[in-house]
Amino acid sequence: MQQTFASIITIGDELLIGQVIDTNSAFIAQQLNSIGISIKHRLAVGDAWDDIWQALDEESKHASIILITGGLGPTSDDITKPLLCEYFGGKLVIDEGALQNVKAIFKRLDRPMIERNLKQAEVPDVCTVIPNQRGTAPGMWFEKNGVIYISMPGVPHEMKGMIENYVLVHLQKDRQLPSIIHKTLLTAGVGESFLADLIQTWEEALPQHIKLAYLPNYGMVRLRLSATGAEKGTLEEEVSAEFDKLQLLVKDYLVTDEDEPMEKVVAKLLLARNETMATAESCTGGYIAHLITQMAGSSAYYNGSVVSYSYDAKEDLLGVSHNLLVEKGAVSEEVVKQMVTGALARLKTTYAVAVSGIMGPGGDTEGKPVGTVWVAVGNHENVMTQRFHFRFDRRRNIELTATNALNLLRKFILSVA
């Protein structure tokens, strides 16, 4: 079965200058993969007529489906709609369904509507309108020389609605798409090069249609097996058999056999044991709490956090000894141990995590360079600690601290189970 390829074009100067991070491409790619469509290219283009036109021409040579987001707003810098109108040789007309949608939204919001708002209902007469159930700008579906072009708003919430409610359904209609299988595991405590040596013999013996990818991040490495084929059942069996072999080879470093973040791994452990946790954060400023509470249902196992950035907060909120802080400093094994003890007592949980470190770019002291972090995890009987040395910028150091702290908690929970 022949693979179907798609290209994703995201439009907007804000993407090129880094003012906005492109999350649309990742979502679209995941959704297309789920129905058997492979991504050929992902391309970001500024608000420049010639550049967008050239991108459409170029990507149509490589893919039979082109998905476009951005540039559909009511202001002068939103040029995607008039450009597409010219590109496909059409003229702008009012779509009655889109017009009624715009009017209904403004009526519901009790806001006055101006001519510029009404222009949102204009679409090229050569497109099929994709309803926007979450905003005013309709999507547009074009076909030319055997290539499908799908234009959607750049607002993620609106784009996702169109993908889920319309685009995926229509792309699968009257098409025989191949199956794309991905299976991913996460390892910790081992480098990418060591892993490659460890599994080299197995990797070299992989069937040609099954590919292995190494995805290092935050001091951990994900290993992903991918395959494409016509028979989904057979493909799943083949990939699962190789995945089982891989898990045995890396068992000493295996964190999870699913493509999931560390906070979800910890959540599943706590839920399975009907246990709870709390966090006592200094250098991460609540970032660990943020990761945990992004998970739906986290109130079942997470009681809360004490963000104690100053010495006074550590003393008053967590009961850390003033003399200990003066003698050892906040970034010390002794202090994070007391932070754990204080969090357990005040938030009444089974486990607690505490972190204190120097995130940079300044703040280093003798013997404690930027990136020095102490982490403690524990329960009412025992506390485990570990010192880390990170070498990146402030944001990355915070993210690394959070992920490694949760991983240390994971190991602690398993050690006492």
pLDDT tens profile 209-222:
999 999 998 779 99
Buried b (16+ CB within 10 A) or exposed e, 209-237: ebeeeeeeebebbbbebbbbbeeeeebbe
| Same domain flag for 235 and 354 | no
Contact predicate 373/356, CB 8 Å = yes
Question: Of 138, 172, 206, which one is at a domain's C-terminal end?
Answer: 172
Confidence at residue 170, expressed as pLDDT on a 0 to 100 scale: 96
Sequence-ordered list of residues with C-beta below 8 angstroms from that of 169, at least 6 positions apart, any chain: none
Please state, in angstroms and rounded to a whole number, the distance separating the CA atoms of residues 177 and 159. Answer: 23
Sequence-ordered list of residues with C-beta below 8 angstroms from that of 57, at least 6 positions apart, any chain: none
The pLDDT confidence band at residue 329, using thresholds 50, 70 and 90, is very high
Sequence-ordered list of residues with C-beta below 8 angstroms from that of 392, at least 6 positions apart, any chain: 371, 400
Which tokens go with 352?
């607690």
Cα–Cα distances in angstroms (integers) from residue 144 to residues 50, 57, 81, 148, 273, in the given order: 19, 11, 16, 7, 57
What is the mean pLDDT of the segment spanning 215-240?
93
Domain that holds residue 197: 179-256
pLDDT tens profile 301-318:
999 999 999 999 999 999
Say what the pTM is.
0.82
Q: How many CA atoms lie within 13 A of 350 on its CB side?
A: 16
What is the mean pLDDT of the segment spanning 259-274?
97
| Same domain flag for 41 and 123 | yes
Residue 1 has pLDDT above 70, yes or no: no
What is the mean pLDDT of the segment spanning 94-111?
92
CATH number for position 294: 3.90.950.20
CATH number for position 139: 3.40.980.10
Residue 406 has pLDDT above 90, yes or no: yes
Residue 366 has pLDDT above 90, yes or no: no
- Residue the block writes with tokens 């839920």: 271
Which tokens go with 358?
């120097």
CATH number for position 212: 3.30.70.2860
Residue 236 has pLDDT above 90, yes or no: yes
| Same domain flag for 49 and 151 | yes
Confidence at residue 398, expressed as pLDDT on a 0 to 100 scale: 97
Confidence at residue 114, expressed as pLDDT on a 0 to 100 scale: 87
Question: Of 146, 172, 198, which one is at a domain's C-terminal end?
Answer: 172
Please state, in angstroms and rounded to a whole number, the distance separating the CA atoms of residues 120 and 401. Answer: 46
Confidence at residue 113, expressed as pLDDT on a 0 to 100 scale: 84
Confidence at residue 255, expressed as pLDDT on a 0 to 100 scale: 97
What is the mean pLDDT of the segment spanning 116-135?
94
| Same domain flag for 238 and 288 | no
Question: Of 207, 230, 256, which one is at a domain's C-terminal end?
Answer: 256
| Same domain flag for 222 and 301 | no
Please state, in angstroms and rounded to a whole number, the distance separating the CA atoms of residues 131 and 120. Answer: 12
**Roughly what angle, to the nearest 10 degrees, separates helices 311-318 and 333-347?**
40
| Same domain flag for 67 and 194 | no
| Same domain flag for 137 and 232 | no
What is the mean pLDDT of the segment spanning 3-9?
96
What is the mean pLDDT of the segment spanning 27-35?
96
Which tokens go with 338?
């007391």
| Same domain flag for 153 and 199 | no
| Same domain flag for 270 and 252 | no
Phi, psi torsion values for 236, nearest 5 degrees: -60, -40
Confidence at residue 219, expressed as pLDDT on a 0 to 100 scale: 79
The pLDDT confidence band at residue 156, using thresholds 50, 70 and 90, is very high
Confidence at residue 2, expressed as pLDDT on a 0 to 100 scale: 78
The pLDDT confidence band at residue 159, using thresholds 50, 70 and 90, is very high
Q: Across all residues in the chain, what is the average pLDDT?
A: 95
Cα–Cα distances in angstroms (integers) from residue 92 to residues 83, 123, 125, 126, 305, in the given order: 11, 5, 6, 9, 55
Q: How many structural domains compose the chain?
A: 3
| Same domain flag for 270 and 234 | no
| Same domain flag for 221 and 155 | no
| Same domain flag for 305 and 388 | yes
